Amino acid sequence: MAQEPRIVIGLALGWFLVWCAVRHPFPGLVVNRLVVQFGPCTDATFNRGAWIESGATTCPPPAQFGTCAPNFGKQWLFSRRAHQCGMRYRSPATLNSTLAGKHVLFMGDSITRYLAEALLRATGRSAAVPRWHMDMTYPLAASNATLDFWWSPYPSNITDSMQRILNTTARPDLVVASFCAWHLHSVMNISDWSRQLDEVDAGVKILAADGLRPIVVSCPHSVQDRLTTDEWAVIKPLGLRYNEVLMSRTLRSWRLLDLNTMSTNCGDPCSKDREHAFRPVYDAAVQVLLGMSAGPLLGEGER
């Protein structure tokens, strides 16, 4: 009986500490606060947000926004949970400082190239990436940072590109890959898609064991555009299935940038053609990408 007051006091103290972590967090308790409130911050958390109707906005926008597109009519708003997990708008001035000396590698198809172009815009560069099927290199920021784009549109090309990374002595700080569209529209075989993803996954595991986890971009949101009704009747459900198979692989060694959901939620008017969105969608995706990789890339702590 004499120990009961101590037990009561101990329980009360425990609840008080939890309350402090949630309502009045100290710097050292920020991570604990997030875990108490929401559980761990995951890629699914980072990708959460919504497009809200908005006209002109100041640039840079408030931190909880992921875009600054005054003439687009919509802005990407990070979810409250994503914002508390570190998602916020990063201005060109911030990026030109934090990206100093970094090497970012985009490999894949035209979706990856649009994302590479969006990252250039995010650092204040206005030059467009040429629509060429070839490798390209750009200075990324003012302080000796580099952006590489490797043209690798098929999964087999991605497997080769990962071997190319392993054969280099200077590894990139971030690798982003997109490789769905060409296989979907040219091969149109879900069994072959799954088999080739297994081969890509094996290469990703090797990179992950070496401390580098590539970020894969989900299959693009497609619209009918110039496809016939019969072609669209085949491509639409097949594209959904392709994305389902790809998304299942992100539970393994790589990470996920869910461009598909972001584009779908923006709506078909946000698509400029069959599989490409307008610029603000890629701008928002790059802000998500930067937040996901803020630890190794921007030195902001582990994500």
pLDDT 10s digit of each residue in the chain, 303 long?
A: 555 555 545 555 555 544 444 343 333 333 333 344 557 899 999 999 999 987 656 788 888 999 988 888 899 999 999 999 999 999 998 898 888 899 999 999 999 999 999 999 999 887 667 778 899 998 876 678 899 999 999 999 999 999 999 998 889 999 999 999 999 999 999 999 999 999 999 999 999 888 899 999 999 999 988 889 999 999 999 999 999 999 987 766 789 999 999 999 999 999 998 889 999 999 999 999 999 988 667 767 555
Enter the pTM of the model.
Answer: 0.84
CA distances from 149 to 6, 20, 256, 285, 291 (A): 63, 47, 19, 17, 20
CA distances from 8 to 16, 54, 112 (A): 12, 52, 58
What SS3 state is found at 275? coil
Which sign does the torsion angle of CA 135, 128, 125, 76 carry?
A: negative
